[in-house]
Structure 1
Amino acid sequence: MKLITGNKVYSSWSLRGWLAVKQSGLHFDEVVVPLFDDNWEQRKREDDLAPSAGKVPILWDEDAVVWDSLAIIDYLADKVGRDRYWPKDNVARGMARSLCAEMHSGYMALRRECPMNTRKKFENITVSAETRADAVRILQNWAEARSRFGQQGPYLFGTFSAADIMLAPVVTRFVTYGFTLPGFAQSYVDAMMAHPWMEEWYAAADQETWMIQRIEDAAP
């Protein structure tokens, strides 16, 4: 398999796709492409990226091509078994799928105002009411998942799952923009940031030299 991702510093969807493939336990090669540089318009029309119209991540598995992080999770769950990605309990699995779907389609204010940037850490930020509402909603979901289903480990549903994969970029945003979190949420953020795959992602991001200036300049 081959996974094509964007800059690790900035690409939240690439982080999700990469974690999804890591969770599969299958071997894969990774190709990192710099997003929105001078060659981007040409690069996104090349063979590896053309099927997704330049969207990353994109997973190639022989003749199969899968883009969109949630689609990659579903594809790999079919390949290696859904229990690797989803809670076994029906009730927990229903909530985990709902959290993933809500993340996939929602929280636009948080995404817009606080873009992913693993290089930066801000302090004493002031966010909009819309972004604050997104954060509160996320924390409510985390609280319910942890209290109802998180007894067997430090992640949302105890063991590492698709829900953690989909929420991982939110964790990075809470760190980057210095959100003040309740104790249970800070403990979850700490556990996620200490996960070996997150540490691996950050270490690779630290080696990148590509810059997207509009994100570097962004601060609430």
Structure 2
Amino acid sequence: MTLALVIGNKNYSSWSMRPWLALKASGIAFEERFIPLYTNQADKKRILDITPAGKVPALIDGEVTIWDSLAIIEYVAERFPEAGLWPETPASRAHARSISAEMHSGFSALRRECGMNLHRPIRAKPLSDNARADIARIQELWTNCRQRAAKAGPFLFGTFGAADAMYAPIIHRFRTYAIDVFPPVREYMDAMMALPAFRQWTEEGLAETLVIEKFEID
């Protein structure tokens, strides 16, 4: 039975992007089901009919439904171990899970002040001290990972994996809001933006025409 991934708008939905990218970049077959966000009560009910959390993304695997981006990625990693979404060694797996969990629960100032919006013209904006601290921490994380995995490949742990999927929307935020980054961070961003699955999400997000005013952050 083919997996089904329920997602929101590719232009805005950073949480939908994470498991979508993990599946697509790993070559795992799935059916994409799109439900527009914040449009009408009928669409809201469609989401509630899938998961009581009332949010996307959600992964449907037969009678099993998983919601929350990180939970979906963990499920997919267990279901398809050959995809190698987590590093092989226990120490590297623990490191990858730690930074993925930090992304999942942290960086609220950056997420609030620099929402994902692929259509937004690229330009800088004033940011709070907290958002700047988030940016510094992310750059520290990425630089440390790249130093450790420099010989293994261009991604956080060498080959593409779950941690890359979790941080993928940050790459769009750094690009869209013209955030200055260190050279190792720029190299990592370039590698991610060259990934075919990343390019596909971006192109399809840019092709969307639905505007959600609450997400149109200056």
Using the size of structure 1 for normalisation, the TM-score is 0.93
State the TM-score, normalizing by the size of structure 2: 0.93
Name the CA shift for 1:183/1:154 in 2 (closer, same or farther; >3 Å). same
Please identify runs of 4+ aligned residues in structure 1 that moved more than 4 A.
none
How many Å separate the matches in 2 of 1:47 and 1:100? 25
Superposition pairs for residues 1-220 of structure 1, below 5 Å?
1-37=3-39, 39=40, 41-46=41-46, 49-81=49-81, 84-216=84-216, 218-219=217-218
Contact 1:87–1:96 under 8 Å retained in 2: yes
Q: Indicate conservation of the 8 Å contact 1:49/1:55, yes or no.
A: no
Distance 1:105 1:189 in 2: 22
Task: Quote the RMSD (CA, aligned, Å).
Answer: 1.6
Q: Is the 8 A contact 2:122 2:178 kept in 1?
A: yes
Unpaired segments of 5 or more residues in structure 2? Answer: none
User: Does the C-alpha gap of structure 1 residues 25 and 52 become closer, same or farther in structure 2, counting only changes over 3 Å?
Assistant: farther
Contact 1:45/1:53, CA 8 A, preserved across alignment: no
**1:118 & 1:49 partners in 2: Cα distance?**
29
Greater shift, 2-11 or 46-55, is seen at 46-55
Q: Is the 8 A contact 1:52 1:58 kept in 2?
A: no
Instruction: Tell me if the contact between 1:152 and 1:158 (Cα under 8 Å) persists in the aligned partners.
Output: yes
Which ranges in structure 1 are unaligned for 5 or more consecutive residues?
Answer: none
Aligned residue pair count: 216
How far apart, CA to CA, are the structure 1 residues paired with 2:81 and 2:91? 18
How far apart are 1:142 and its partner, in Å?
0.7
